Amino acid sequence: STADNSGYTGGSSGGHNGGHTGHNTGIPNLPPPKFDSGDSNSGAGGITVFTKPVFKLKFALYFKLFKTRMKSVVSDPLWWRTTNGKKIAEYLQGHFDNQTGLMDVKTTEFAVWAIGYLVSHPEVTWEQFENWFLGEVEGQDGEYDSEFWDNPDLTFPQQQLPSFYDFNSAYPRIKGKELAQLIGGEILDLYTKYPNSVRGYCALKVSRALNYSGITIPHIVTTKDDAGTVSGDDGKYYFLNAKALNKWMQKTFGISPDNPFHIRISGSEGGIKGENFPKLTAGLKGIYSMVSSNSKWASGHADLIKGDGTCVNGCHFYDTPPAPIAYIDIWILN
């Protein structure tokens, strides 16, 4: 349900786009006030990053001094010539203020953590890292009727999971707005008339893949007489809310231990900045459904997770503001 561009963004530099204010950092050659980013939240192990500027810096000087400060993490200077090293440089340069010589402290803190992660996981490509940790913040994806969906007695007809081939083939790789236009009907009306409250497309994309891989999504009206699912011109029904889609899939496909092809990972298992999630999801492919603990971020994220551990539209293991992950459900497809 990717929508707006606040927070991390994709692209070659992939990173913050100005979501943090008020704290800037320059790295001068004289010791100004500083903080130790090796605190409980950074996971960077005692790397000193300066937080207050003394004089204006150009990026080349800033980056030279930054690399000097990172020598305890990056022992091989040739690492900065690798793809990952160059991408970190692009990430920092994309958020460096050439007018003031300042860098947002959160950007620097994330870069310090990212370098530590990439150095200790040399097998991870930048494409994977970007997919996992530099996703766009999710947009609002409609209403979640908790009275309806959290009812323990709620049931739906059981259905067999689709094959990976069918689901993957049906999963749309086009932009969300283009998909809404393709589906038409009430779907297009809602995205057109309510752009602020219906901005995310992830549940729509997974619904499309399910609808065209042999699964039937029913017409659902919730206790508030709201549309739990919405119809398109193709006569099929679609979810807009990622959390509601998750609840329906739980009832329809089943969860572990009843369904051996289901895996649940709690948000607390993710560790610092979600760094444990790639290992926990390694080798899995199928339907990816993350549920958020804060609806202001979005109700969650739905996607197709591939065998290389990445999701088509990003797994959102960490965003900015951080993706508040309650849990991740994965239904493994064969």
Indicate the domain borders of the chain. Answer: 24-133, 146-332
- Supply the pLDDT for residue 48: 55
Q: Which of 311, 8, 237 shows the shortest CA–CA distance to 301?
A: 311
- Supply the pLDDT for residue 111: 96
Collapsed DSSP state (helix, strand, coil) of residue 61? helix
Q: Which value, in Å, is the radius of gyration of the alpha carbons in the chain?
A: 22
Q: How do beta strands 262-266 and 286-292 pair?
A: unpaired
Q: List the structure tokens of 282.
A: 């390694």
Task: Print pLDDT tens along the chain (334 aa).
Answer: 544 333 323 333 333 333 333 445 444 333 333 333 344 444 444 555 555 554 566 899 999 999 999 999 999 999 999 999 999 999 999 999 988 888 989 899 999 999 999 999 999 999 999 999 998 776 788 889 999 999 999 999 999 999 999 999 999 999 999 999 999 999 999 989 888 778 789 999 999 999 999 999 999 999 988 889 999 999 999 999 999 999 999 999 999 999 999 999 999 999 999 999 999 999 999 999 999 998 888 899 999 999 999 999 999 999 866 889 999 999 999 9
- Supply the pLDDT for residue 39: 42
Output b/e per residue, 32-63; b: 16+ Cβ within 10 A. eeebebbeeebbbeebbbbbebeeebebeebb
Q: Which of 315, 147, 160, 121 shows the shortest CA–CA distance to 253?
A: 160
CATH number of 146-332: 3.90.1720.70
pTM: 0.82
Collapsed DSSP state (helix, strand, coil) of residue 301? strand
CA distance 69 to 73: 9
